[in-house]
Structure 1
Amino acid sequence: MGADEYRRDDRRREQTDVGFRQHRDAEAVKPEDSDEFRRQYGRLRSYYRLRPKRYQDLQRWLNQARFGTNYDAYLERSALYAIAAAVFGVVVGIVTTTALVEAGVIASLSNPLSVRGGVTAYLGANRVLFAGAAVTIVTAVLFAAGTWYARYYYPRSVVGTRRRNIDVTLPHAITFMYALSYGGMDIVEVIKVLGESQDTYGEVANEFQMVVRDVDLFGNDLYTALQNARNLAPSDNLEQFVDDLLSVLDAGGDVTVFLEDQTDTYLEEARDEQTAFIETLSLLSEVFVVLFVAAPLFLIVILIVMSLLGAQTLAQVTALVYAVLPLAMLAFLVLLDALSSPFTQAAVTLEERHHVTTDGVGRLMVLVVRDGILAAAERVWADVSAVLELDGYDDEPDEEARIAAQRTAYLRHRRRQYLRSSLESPFAVFDRSPPLTLLVTVPLAALWVAATVTTGTFELSRDAFLAAPRRATLWLVVVPMFLLTVPLSLFVERKTRRERHIARQFPDTMNALSSANKMGVPTTEALGLVAKWSSGPIERELRKVRNDIEWNHDTSRALRAFADRLRVPQLSRAMKLIAEGMRSSSDLARVLSIAADDTRNRFRIEQQRRRELSSYVAVVIIGFLVYLLVVTMLTRSYLQPVAEASGAATGVDVEAPISISNLPVSAYETLFFHSAIIQAFGSGLLAGKLVDNNAFGGLKYGILLVLVSTAAFLLI
């Protein structure tokens, strides 16, 4: 056994001690103590409390997940939930039994064994009672067991999510600590600042916030607080980092040099973590092809053959197309989102106080309307006061009130001015928040459908689809879908390209500013110089930052406002690093260089994901094309000949082993077309989630595949 294994075993023992210090050893409990436990905690909770060794893994998961509860209290609630689920399962079993009785399924049951006797005769005479009891018991057990095990292993899944988030974020958090330590900030203050940055550094900040709590609230020294955090850390990488940090502190080493050395080490760990995640996504993409291409095709072919033999399978195919496929795809996307959450960088707002230039367009509209209402109310009140000659209406306001009124008037003017400049582009609101396009496109799609129905082009009914399935689907499904998704996709792509352009250009911009600062160029002049050779939104925003610094003489706040205006997660984190680093260091050049390296590393990790998963997008799209090929061939080479043969056989008395006269050809053709559209749209969303970790980014694939499906069915 190596040193790492010994250290992990020692850590698990310490975690167990932390989780069970308040519990007695079950083997040492006397009978009178057991009675005391039952009186104090109740029979259910005391049962678990008297068996701590059995549930030590659960207690460790609860501690690492930060649930703030003991295993016995958690299991007591789990047992109560399981009992409630069992009761619900009984109700479901009774309802299911009633439905089976009405459908005649239970009445058709027969004895599968050759044994005959009084017992079998009695069971056969009371088959409804015994079958219903069996169904009810099975559903109750399944619901109860599912609830129990879901609750039992839920903390473990939370720990896994926290571990992945920590492993991905840790190198950037160490870089942040290095920037603060480089400026001369002591390690206690560094940990405190990191602990307050949950919005930026996620679970790593939450772990160090516990260290701050132990020092400030419980009076522990830093060494003890770090040991406690180490013992409960869900990540081996974080545990190793804290171990090394404790060794440096114990030996009196240079913390700044240590943090600088650790950055590259844990960056490689983050890349390894993402590589493992990419392998998981690649496996899921192959699973998607099996579940949503091969399996539906197999079921559809089997059901079609059964219908040809006289079975009524239209309801099963309808349920598969309109219920099973969409819900399964939605569940698959939710699974991908849950797995990708540790790797997702949420938007961060750095400036606590709202500023006119950092407010969104929607907020500015609301504020401008409010300002207009208030201004009109003030004018009306002034006119009423003058007419009625109320006391004090013509008194001169004091200096403080006059300054406040001037400031209010200035802010109102600035809001109106900035709103007008923001709306110079008619799509400014949609550029910032693409989903807002739905506020326009949803009514537009509804109007299209209403116009199609009212003009008599098509009726919104089942008969209309069966009479002309292709044209009805085109006018009532495909066109409204394009009205909803095409504008949304366009603005999503505009925003995505803008963010990638900024993330790609920003590290070079920071390096240029760092070089200018090293040569002694003042910050404001350096910003102007860099803006000259920059392009796009970076150029315009750097000029605003320069003006903000010149007018307000607050570099830190200007940089924060700059990040809030651009709303790019990578940039926001870099600006937080720069702002906090400048607060502790006068060496702006080094802080800018550190921020540039951190941003470049983040961008490279995301580029690696997009590059390695692009091939699996092709796998998903090819899988859909195979599905489309099969259903179009079924329509052209099977359904259409069947329809022609059925028409020719009408009125002809021919004995045949297979009957085709009652096959609902139009219904199956409609179902095939709609299934292709659902597959196309779902496959596109999955492709976007795989590559960009954003389902909206897959709208372009979905739109293209829906267009291909529509063309294929219209041309066959």
Structure 2
Amino acid sequence: MLRNYISQWIKRDPVRFTSLHADMISARIGMTTEQYVWRAVQVSLLAGIAFAALGFVASLSFTLPSLEGRIGITNVFGLQLPAFFSGQVPAFVIAVAVLVFSFAIGMYLGYALLMRLPGIEKTNRAIKINLTLHNAVAYMYAMRKGGAQLMPIFQSISERADIYGEVALEFRQIVRDADFFGYDVVTAIRHLSETTPSEKLKLFLEDLLSIIDGGGDMGEFLSMRVRMYQEEARFEQKQFLNVLSLVAEGYVTLFVAGPLFLIIIMVVMGMTGGTAVLQLSLVTYAILPIGSLIFIVLIDLISIKAEKTERYTTIKWLHAYPDITIVKKEDEAHQFEQLKKYDRIRTIADHIRHPLESFITNVDHTLYITVPIAILYITSVFLRVPLYRDVDVYLGVVDDHIVLALLIILIPYAIFYEIWSRKVLGIQSLVPDFLERLSGINQVGLTIAQAIAIMVNTNLGLLSYEIRRIKRDMDWGANFTEALVRFEQRVSTPAIARTVTLITKASEMSGQISEVLSIASSDAKMSEALKKERLTEMFIYTAIVYLSFFVFLFVVAVLTMQFLPILADIDTQGLSTAGSISSFGSIPLATFARILYHACLMQALFSGLIAGQMGESSVAAGVKHSCVLLIIALVTFNFVLI
């Protein structure tokens, strides 16, 4: 009944939902407007019920204050206030009113959020499309250079969503319109330009249509557009760094200086009898971690980062001789099973012979060993530590070992991640030079395979070993494409994946790909320059994070060693305000000291992660900073402040 009413409502007022319909198409929601609005109404009803329940529970303990004395604004005009504000309204009536109000607020928020969700998804898709558009255009240029027509180009890119992400998904719309709806390529391109969420892709498609209609040189157009997008990436990087600087300053202000100010105030409140322990615990165990996680997510959302890429292996059925009858023997099945068992045993044997190599290739493998060790360690600690009657003493003994268990997990992870990062970054920094040399050799008439054979003798640092492996694969029977794909699998980074995909497709289309290699080289140079620029700009904020932590640690150490003992020793028996000041004596000094220690540990852990997220666009890169800061805090409170 309600669903039919919603459908009729949309049909009577279609203009009201025009923008929603356009956002849903651009976001590729895959639902009709009626279906989505009905889903939004269902979610809003559930949100309203949840808000109403919370509001009703909160209102049970809520009573309006009596408007007597000097509460509120003085009624100098003698106005008669409604009876509702007289304080005589029953609590049940107030609870019902709050329930209805909360239900309405919950429904409104749920419905409004669902109505804006397609627009948010549209914006996210636009960012992802802009991120890889220049790579996709370079791929189009490589295929066009080899003589491919537009539709095969779009078909090829649409099949590589693992490499080109949202751009490939957009080009699937062109392929779908041509294959299933019978559109010609021009109409399909125009339809995509009308529905894509990316303004940059829209302008590119409109200019492409102009080249098609005017009979211009499409190869030259694609070449110029790739170089233009590479220059635009520098401007986007500068804008991003400005925003990131603002976020970094906001984090230092809100979650380093702010908590430090609150801690000082709450310690003083403890002297005057306030509920400082509860508030200090709230800041330490809730505000610090939750706020830091929000900042990590925020930086991740606004970061210009490469999409993760994967390459899928396809199995081809060999039917080169369809006239020959294939006979399947029953005794072959166990041989295939033996081969699978051999592969598993060989993998295990490789891990045993080269355990460190496995950890470097996939850093997450360290967790399979360190997490069980940390659990066994902390379990043995709990079994060995006696159950002290004083909870503060028990926590003071155990919390250091919890930090040690955390370091058991984090330190190996940080070490192997750093080894992997230095190796990969070293290879990526040499890729532009490698591509430039390939381009120069290809220009004199040699093939790419011959160029690889020549470059074996060159010195390209870490990349020289990989070039020798590529040459060895080709000597053992692999073609150039297969050897490059294996190189990509060994390094496994998005930049290498896109470069390999571009080169392999260009080499398949034509033997002379020097210009394509030149474009790939300039793109790799630009990526490296942007990465170095970000590291340089963010180094100052990483240093600020360290300095802010040292200030935080110093102030907390002064409070722990100088201020708290003096307050604890104050004799309050002869003071007229003994009821307030002496209440500090009821709070153990160890409780304040422990919470302050934990605040330093929280600050160390999350400040390190945010430093890595800001500087290297990876939380994993911040693990090493967290380990350093945790060790400093641990040593300071256990060996220095004695």
* Band the TM-score falls in, shorter-chain normalisation: 0.7 to 0.9
- Residues in 2 aligned to 1:143 and 1:339: alpha-carbon distance in whole angstroms: 29
Query: What is the deviation of 1:127?
Result: 4.3
1:687 corresponds to 2:616 = no
What is aligned with 1:709?
633
1:672 corresponds to 2:601 = no
Kept in 1, the 8 Å contact 2:131–2:306? The answer is no
Kept in 1, the 8 Å contact 2:447–2:511? The answer is no
Query: TM-score, length-normalised on structure 2?
Result: 0.88
1:29-178 matches, within 5 Å, as 42-98=4-60, 100=61, 106=63, 112=71, 120=83, 124-178=87-141
Kept in 2, the 8 Å contact 1:123–1:130? The answer is no
1:487 corresponds to 2:412 = yes
What is aligned with 2:367?
438
1:264 corresponds to 2:257 = no
What is aligned with 1:255?
218
- Shift in CA distance, 432/217, structure 1 to aligned 2, threshold 3 Å: same
Identity of aligned residues (%): 28
Kept in 2, the 8 Å contact 1:350–1:572? The answer is no
- Residues in 1 aligned to 2:36 and 2:86: alpha-carbon distance in whole angstroms: 42
- Provide Cα deviations, 1:331-376, integer angstroms capped at 9, x if missing partner: 2222222333x6233032254359xxxxxxxxxxxxxxxxxxxxxx
1:18-417 matches, within 5 Å, as 42-98=4-60, 100=61, 106=63, 112=71, 120=83, 124-340=87-303, 343-349=305-311, 351-352=313-314
1:604 corresponds to 2:567 = no
Kept in 1, the 8 Å contact 2:27–2:121? The answer is yes
Kept in 1, the 8 Å contact 2:3–2:38? The answer is no
**3-state DSSP of counterpart to 1:343:** coil
- Shift in CA distance, 137/325, structure 1 to aligned 2, threshold 3 Å: farther
Kept in 1, the 8 Å contact 2:466–2:487? The answer is yes
- Residues in 1 aligned to 2:521 and 2:4: alpha-carbon distance in whole angstroms: 59
Query: What is the deviation of 1:90?
Result: 1.4
**3-state DSSP of counterpart to 2:456:** helix
Kept in 2, the 8 Å contact 1:617–1:691? The answer is yes
Query: What is the deviation of 1:493?
Result: 0.7
Query: What is the deviation of 1:251?
Result: 0.9
* 299-308 or 223-232, larger mean C-alpha shift: 299-308
Query: What is the deviation of 1:522?
Result: 5.6
Kept in 2, the 8 Å contact 1:688–1:694? The answer is yes
* 611-620 or 255-264, larger mean C-alpha shift: 611-620
Query: Unaligned stretches of 5+ in structure 1?
Result: 1-38, 355-397
1:426 corresponds to 2:346 = no
- Shift in CA distance, 121/599, structure 1 to aligned 2, threshold 3 Å: closer
Kept in 1, the 8 Å contact 2:363–2:416? The answer is yes
Kept in 2, the 8 Å contact 1:350–1:561? The answer is no
1:547 corresponds to 2:472 = yes
- Residues in 2 aligned to 1:256 and 1:285: alpha-carbon distance in whole angstroms: 43
**3-state DSSP of counterpart to 1:42:** helix
Query: What is the deviation of 1:155?
Result: 1.6
Cα RMSD of the aligned pairs, angstroms, is: 3.1
Kept in 2, the 8 Å contact 1:94–1:136? The answer is yes
Q: Residue type matched to 1:432 in 2?
A: T
Query: What is the deviation of 1:609?
Result: 2.4
* 71-80 or 588-597, larger mean C-alpha shift: 588-597
Kept in 2, the 8 Å contact 1:350–1:560? The answer is no
Q: Residue type matched to 2:149 in 1?
A: D
Query: What is the deviation of 1:504?
Result: 0.8
1:655 corresponds to 2:582 = no
- Residues in 2 aligned to 1:501 and 1:604: alpha-carbon distance in whole angstroms: 14
Kept in 2, the 8 Å contact 1:470–1:673? The answer is no
What is aligned with 1:15?
none
**3-state DSSP of counterpart to 2:120:** helix
- Provide Cα deviations, 1:274-325, integer angstroms capped at 9, x if missing partner: 3222222221112212221233233333333333222233222212211232
Which one of the candidate residues 477, 480, 487 is aligned to 1:562?
Answer: 487
What is aligned with 1:573?
498
Kept in 2, the 8 Å contact 1:46–1:72? The answer is no
Kept in 2, the 8 Å contact 1:688–1:696? The answer is yes
Q: Which has the higher contact order (CA 8 A, sep 6+)?
A: 2
Query: What is the deviation of 1:412?
Result: 6.3
- Residues in 2 aligned to 1:54 and 1:539: alpha-carbon distance in whole angstroms: 62
**3-state DSSP of counterpart to 1:561:** helix
Kept in 2, the 8 Å contact 1:628–1:709? The answer is yes
- Shift in CA distance, 144/405, structure 1 to aligned 2, threshold 3 Å: closer
* 690-699 or 634-643, larger mean C-alpha shift: 634-643
In the alignment of these two chains, the number of paired residues is: 621
Kept in 2, the 8 Å contact 1:168–1:274? The answer is no
- Shift in CA distance, 83/409, structure 1 to aligned 2, threshold 3 Å: closer
What is aligned with 1:642?
567
Which one of the candidate residues 458, 463, 481 is aligned to 2:390?
Answer: 463
